[in-house]
Amino acid sequence: MVRFTVGQLHKPTSVAGALRHFGISAGMRRRIKHEGLCKRNGTATDLRVLVEKGDVIEVTFPAADTVAAEPIDLDISYEDDWLLVVNKPAGMLMHQTSGERTGTLANAVMYYYGKRGLTLSYHPMHRLDRNTSGLCLIAKYPHIQHLFDGKNRFYKRSYLALTEGFFPAAMATVHAPVGRDPESIIKRCTCPDGKPAHSDFFRLEANKTYSLVQVTLTTGRTHQIRVHSAYLGHPLVGDDLYGGGRELLRRQGLHAWRMQFLHPVTKKIIAVYSPLPADMRSLVQKAGWDFKTHTI
């Protein structure tokens, strides 16, 4: 449930208009109208009713698709009344699929909510591949997810990656559209008719076998870092789909380690960090690199 108080009004405004101003999308307003419940000062109301300054609006959202709760431990990096940031381990799916209904982050989050008596839903702001580890931002309400979709939002994600060979440049910027590989249902590729994709690579450490780089995303295309790394001639260690070897790692060496965003409700800048997982950390230590993520 969401509850807010109507502020100063400059023109006649309906309940629907107040919901829109609060950040609830047109699609969700339609669902509230037909499937949810909206109260004005404690009484159920039609969305066409005009509001006044000081009115208290309460919204109970329509039920979301059912995700089974499953007792899986969560590594929580940040939480407040509106958002949850979880450190996802490699090997875990973000969502259920037709073939896998259990063991996903969605199952774990719904169990976490239920254990605390919270009636909330699962709205991830982005996706990580199964074998990419690190920070996942989850909105607890659909209207919070909608607020992040605005064009003027500040939402920055940085990854740590292990790439094959000696990464030759201190910094590399890649603007290369990413689209589906016509010969694969999974693989992506750089192609002129793909969606615009922008990645910035910063070399942190390197030896002749592998390098540690930070990658900051401006866009978020499927497999973007994996595709752009291969495009540069330095595929991710362990990423055999895009040309990396699996002698050093059994999964792609990619970890979502830093997240910064403007909180859509409090308007404060939030920064969250996640340390390297053990498998990637062991290669950093093997190379003798004195690397600490908080120093970047």
- What number is the average pLDDT over the span 179-186? 92
Domain stops at, among 128, 147, 166 = 147
Q: CA end-to-end span of the chain, whole Å?
A: 39
Structural domains of the chain, count: 3
Q: What integer pLDDT is reported at residue 100 of this predicted model?
A: 86
Instruction: Verify that 213 and 168 share a domain, yes or no.
Output: yes
Residues 100 and 204 in one domain: no
Q: So what's the pLDDT on residue 64?
A: 59
Q: Is residue 103 domain-resident?
A: yes
In a domain, 15, yes or no: yes
CATH value at residue 89:
3.30.2350.10
pLDDT in tens, 100-141: 889 999 999 999 999 999 888 899 998 899 999 999 999 998
> Residue 38 phi/psi, 5° resolution?
-130, 130
User: Residue 73 pLDDT more than 60?
Assistant: yes
- Examine residue 30 and state whether it is found in any structural domain, yes or no: yes
Do 15 and 130 lie in one domain? The reply is no
What's residue 152's pLDDT?
Answer: 54
pLDDT of 296 above 60: no
Q: State pTM to two decimals.
A: 0.80
Q: Are residues 223 and 132 in the same domain?
A: no
Whether residue 161 sits in one domain with residue 109:
no
290 counts as catalytic: no
Confidence of residue 292 (pLDDT cuts 50, 70, 90): low
Query: Do residue 120 and residue 234 come from a single domain?
Result: no
Q: Are residues 179 and 279 in the same domain?
A: yes
Rounded to an integer, the average pLDDT of 155-167 is 96
> Residue 16 belongs to what domain range?
2-60
HEC per residue, the chain: CEEEECCCCCCCCEHHHHHHHHCCCHHHHHHHHHHCEEEECCEECCCCCECCCCCEEEEECCCCCCCCCCCCCCCEEEECCCEEEEEECCCCCCCCCCCCCCCCHHHHHHHHHHHCCCCCCCEECCCCCCCCEEEEEEECCHHHHHHCCCCCCCEEEEEEEEEECCCCCCEEEEECCEEECCCCCCCEEECCCCECCEEEEEEEEECCCEEEEEEEECCCCCCHHHHHHHHCCCCECCCHHHCCCCCCCCCCCEEEEEEEEECCCCCCEEEEECCCCHHHHHHHHHCCCCCCHHHC
In a domain, 67, yes or no: no
Tens digit of pLDDT for each residue in 199-225? Answer: 999 999 999 999 999 999 999 899 999
Do 49 and 27 lie in a common domain? yes
With a CB cutoff of 8 Å and minimum separation 6, the contacts of 196 are 175, 177, 219
Please indicate, yes or no, if residue 216 is contained in any of the structural domains: yes
In the structure, what pLDDT confidence band is assigned to residue 260 with cuts at 50, 70 and 90?
A: very high
The reply to whether 42 falls in a domain is: yes
Average pLDDT score over residue span 179-195: 94
41 and 85: one domain? no
The answer to whether residues 208 and 261 belong to one domain is: yes
Residue from 55, 129, 181, 193 carrying the catalytic annotation = 129
The per-residue pLDDT for range 5-19, each reduced to its tens digit, is 998 888 999 998 988
137 and 255 share one domain: no
Is 267 part of any domain? yes
89/38 Cα distance (integer angstroms): 38
158 φψ region: left (φ > 0), alpha (ψ -120 to 50), beta (else)? beta
The per-residue pLDDT of the chain, averaged, comes to 90
pLDDT band at residue 294 under the 50/70/90 scheme: very low
